[in-house]
Structure 1
Amino acid sequence: MFRLIWTASVHTRCFLRRYMPTNIVLDAIRTRRGLRWGVPAMLLALPYLYGASIVTTLIANGAPAWLHLMALLLVWNAMKFIVIGPVSLFLLVRARATESRDRQIERHTIAAGARAN
């Protein structure tokens, strides 16, 4: 039973990762080229939060209760975009520090090779 649940969750995660638009955008932001777009991507949370407020207003006015799932999904996607901003900023600083350190090591290696000749 545990194996079945585990397999189902892995396949669900792979499906969601590959085909859901927010996950595709977040994966693109996590690349080295996309890290600079993390903070502006936080603005994408605003339409999701607005949509969640509309859905909760509809629910309060008598809409079907299954719309709670839609509100939860909208809030979840908004939170993903809010979190990616600081995370991408941290990853960008770390990537630039690594690149700077690699350039310094390369310069020292070239300089040491030139002195040896």
Structure 2
Amino acid sequence: MFRLIWIASIHIRSYLRRYMPTNIILDGVRTRRGLKWGLPVMLLALPYLYGASICVELIEDGAPGWLHLIVLLCIWNAMKMAWIGPISLILLARVRAQEMVARQHAKIAEADSHQEATDSGPVLAGAR
């Protein structure tokens, strides 16, 4: 029984990861090219919060109780969108620092190879 629940949860997670819009957006933001879009993606939290407030008003006016699930889903998605902004800034700073270190190492290696090439330069014909 435990194995069946475990496998079902794996398949559900895989499905949600692949086809739900917020997960697709978050996967795109987590790439190197997408890190710069973290702060604008934070603005997507506002429509989710607005949708949650509309559902709460409908529930208070007598709408069915299953709308509570929609409220929870909207709030969860809003939190995901709100957190990706600061996280993407931290990841972007880390990636840029790594790229800067790699550029410095490449520059040092290039200077070393250039220095070796000039030290053991071509032998002149009259220098024997």
State how far apart, in whole Å, the 1-side matches of 2:41 and 2:33 are. Answer: 14
Describe how 1:58-77 pairs up with structure 2 within 5 A: 58-77=58-77
| Deviation at residue 6 of structure 1 after TM alignment | 1.1
| Structure 2 residue aligned with 1:19 | 19
TM-score, scaled to structure 2: 0.90
More helix by share: 1
Map 1:42-81; keep pairs closer than 5 Å: 42-81=42-81
The answer to whether residue 110 in structure 2 is matched with residue 110 in structure 1 is yes
Q: Which amino acid aligns with 2:5?
A: I
SS of aligned partner of 2:31: coil
Aligned to 2:10: 10
Could you tell me which amino acid in structure 1 is paired with residue 45 of structure 2? Answer: A
Cα distance in 2 between the residues matched to 1:109 and 1:8: 52
Q: Can you list the C-alpha shifts for 1:65-87, whole angstroms capped at 9, x where unaligned?
A: 00000000000000000000000
Give the Å deviation of 1:4.
Answer: 1.1
TM-superposed deviation, 1:3: 1.4
For normalisation by structure 1, the TM-score amounts to 0.98
Give 2:30's aligned residue: 30
TM-align CA RMSD: 0.6
Following superposition, which runs of at least 4 residues in structure 1 exceed 2 angstroms of deviation? none
Listed as ranges, the gaps of 5+ residues in structure 2 are 118-128
Aligned residues: 117
